[in-house]
Each structure stands twice: as structure tokens, then as C-alpha cells.
Structure 1
């Protein structure tokens, strides 16, 4: 992770925005701050942040809508949602939006820095081993340098978490991974993530694959056990 990674903070409460910016800058990050949702998409046309800290409740366009649009247009940009609405967490990390992580208010500045570093490690870490499966005739090809998954010549538009999830299963075709094993591979900072969150990411990954390969069911659910990548059936 580069020491001067660029971050965008989208937060309409000045004290919170300033606190996050000051603490992140102290830890070597470059930050920019916006306080209105309507300013985000125009700003992204001329800037490329590594990660966006995106508040849920904003004047102008709200955080949920923005997360969806950013994910569609800039799939490789990591997003951490900031929310005081705990009941929204499943939506933030799940099927609709696919945010990479979330922070609940009130939070400590240390937690913000830890979450930012963890997400950037997962989304930017170089790979030290090749894929076990690299068959040109396979249904999905992974470009590990570009963090892209391609099926039938089309980029699946995976988020960093979805790409990581698919890559783990593609390394061992036919092997059944439990939810706990997938969490261990995906979240190496040992933070607590619910099994339901893994299910949500898998469901969204399968949906993206089925949109391009409607006749193939290559991510299989094994009831009561977990998931596996099965390209041969």
C-alpha cells in the first residue's frame, strides 16, 4: 500500500470530516473532502482516489445512490460506507451495493485508519502465486494485474472483494470452501465479518457471472457446507 494513497472523504458534518482528514493525513494519506453528494460524480471525473469514505446520509444525492453509481462506473475504487444506521449494514455490504467495508458512527479515528489500511491491502496487494487454473478455454479468465474477471470477452465489473472471492475459489476448482475459510482468505486483518456478508458477496458474484454466462452455474452452493468453483459441469 503506498504511503500517500489518495482518499476522498464525503461527509457533511464538518467536525467529523476534519477529524477523519487530520488523522488520515497524520498516517500518511492524502485526503480530499466533499460535503454534498451532488459534487461526488463530477469530482471523480477528474480525480482517481484509491478509496472513498462515503457517508450514508448526505445533502444532495444520498450515499446509497452514490455507492451504486460509483461501483458501476469505477469498479476498482474501494468504498467504505460511514453510517449511524446499523440496520443498513447488510445493504451496504450486500447485494444492492457491494461496498467493501463499513464504519458505524460513533467511531474512533484509529478504527477509521485501520479499516482504510485493511481495505487497501485487500484491493491493492500484489499476488505472489499464479492461479492454479489458467485454461484459455475456461469460462472465466482472471487478469490479476488489472484486477479484472472476463467471461465471454466481457469484463464482469467485479468489486475488489468479489474479485478476491472468485480468485480464492478458482485456485482450487471443485474444492468446497466453508464461509469461515472464505472469510479467512478475504479478510486477513482478522476483523469480525458475519457469514451472511459472505453469502451476500457470493450471491452478487453469481449474479454478475449469470448475466454474461446464463447457461453456466460455475459457483455452486453446497448446502450446509459452503461454496465451490466448478467450471467443468
Structure 2
């Protein structure tokens, strides 16, 4: 199991990233500032997701010091700073990758897996490429859903919705998060399309697993 650090001062972002990366099968240490990331007693990370806008230390300095302390770790900057010079400075400080917020979790998770694979770190294959919910098997790589060996004919967005909900069974996923992850993080139109796709997905899944509606908030894939 890969050891990931999430160094992010925003409580909401840190919590969401941590829980969703854990759902992917990683061991996650959530840290609110740069000083916490430089504590020597922490387990060595395989990969660090690092915000630059930290409250105590400049993110690039934290990146530089982490590179010295953990020379084999993958350092991925995830920040709202999109200036070209910020990218250059971060890469020169030792970052391996640079992502600008807002970033879709599906892209971030794919980048994490790719970096870990290249670094030779242990990947949670069962959870990273295949999800099982009740009698459904969701093959993320092949984009196939089967029930007892029989494939369900899901459309692209139906598959993406199911995979997103199945990544955190039993957890409420907000309408905003679903629209951002499955459609577009900049989506500003009606979310009626989400309801239409959920209804179609329910018809194809049948009585199990249950996609529960939390009115006014979002949906939850019930654990079976």
C-alpha cells in the first residue's frame, strides 16, 4: 500500500482528497501546513500532494526541503497558482509534476497511479482498477460493469457516475461533486442532466445496489 501525504491548508479540500485517496486504496497522511510535513517522525511518503499557498512556510521551500529529506518520493504540486514562473520555480525546487486547481479528481488519481507505477511503489490493484459492490464488478481500466459475469450495457456517463459513487460506497456525494467529476468542474448550467442519468443508471442496475437520493444534497451508493 502506497504512503501518500496531502499537504493542504484548506480543511475541506484536505479532507475530501484524503478520503477519496483512501477509497482508492492508499494510505494517506493529511497535513495542514508546511511545518507538519517536515516532522522527521512521520512515515516516509511514496508521493506528496503539496499546495504552495501554505500558512506558515512558502510551498516551494517545503518542496525543496522534502526533496532533500525524501529524495525518492514523488512530489506533485497541486495549487491555484497558474503563473508560468510559479511552475518553473516549483519544478526547479524538486517537484515532479504541477497541477492547477481546480483539478478533476479522476485526473489527479490517474496522475498519482502513473507516478507511483513509474516509481515502483505498491499499487492497490484490486481497488485502483477494479471495484466490487455487492454482485457488481466494475473494471475501471476496461470500463466494463458485470453482474455475475454478465456485462451491463452502460453508457459512458452512466459508467462514470457509477464508478464515482462506488469509489466511496455508503458516502454521500454532492450534486456539485458529481457534476464536477463526471461532467465539467466549470459546469454552471442545470443539473437536471444528472437526475436523468441517475434514473437511467437505476433502471439498468435493478434493485441492487441502491442509489439513494439525499434530497437537496446528492446521492449515495448503499453498501450491500
**TM-score, normalised via structure 2 length:** 0.51
CA–CA distance in structure 1, aligned partners of residues 72 and 80 of structure 2: 26
User: 1:116 matched to which residue of 2?
Assistant: 112
User: Where does the alignment leave 5 or more consecutive residues of structure 2 unmatched?
Assistant: 123-224
Is 1:45 aligned with 2:41? yes
Q: What whole-Å deviation, never above 9, does each CA across 1:87-120 have from its counterpart, x for those lacking one?
A: 1112222xx3121112110111112211111111
Q: 2:81 aligns with which of 85, 90, 94?
A: 85
CA–CA distance in structure 2, aligned partners of residues 20 and 74 of structure 1: 22
Q: Which is higher, the Rg of structure 1 or of structure 2?
A: 2
CA–CA distance in structure 2, aligned partners of residues 65 and 125 of structure 1: 25
Is 1:62 aligned with 2:54? no
Contact 1:84 1:104 in 2 (8 A): yes
**TM-score, normalised via structure 1 length:** 0.49
CA–CA distance in structure 2, aligned partners of residues 71 and 125 of structure 1: 17
Contact 1:84 1:105 in 2 (8 A): yes
> How far does residue 125 in structure 1 lie from its aligned partner after superposition?
6.8
Is 1:32 aligned with 2:29? yes
User: Where does the alignment leave 5 or more consecutive residues of structure 1 unmatched?
Assistant: 127-233
* Stretches (4+) displaced over 6 A: none
Number of aligned positions between the proteins: 120
User: Per the alignment, in what secondary structure is the counterpart of residue 4 of structure 2?
Assistant: strand
User: Per the alignment, in what secondary structure is the counterpart of residue 32 of structure 1?
Assistant: strand
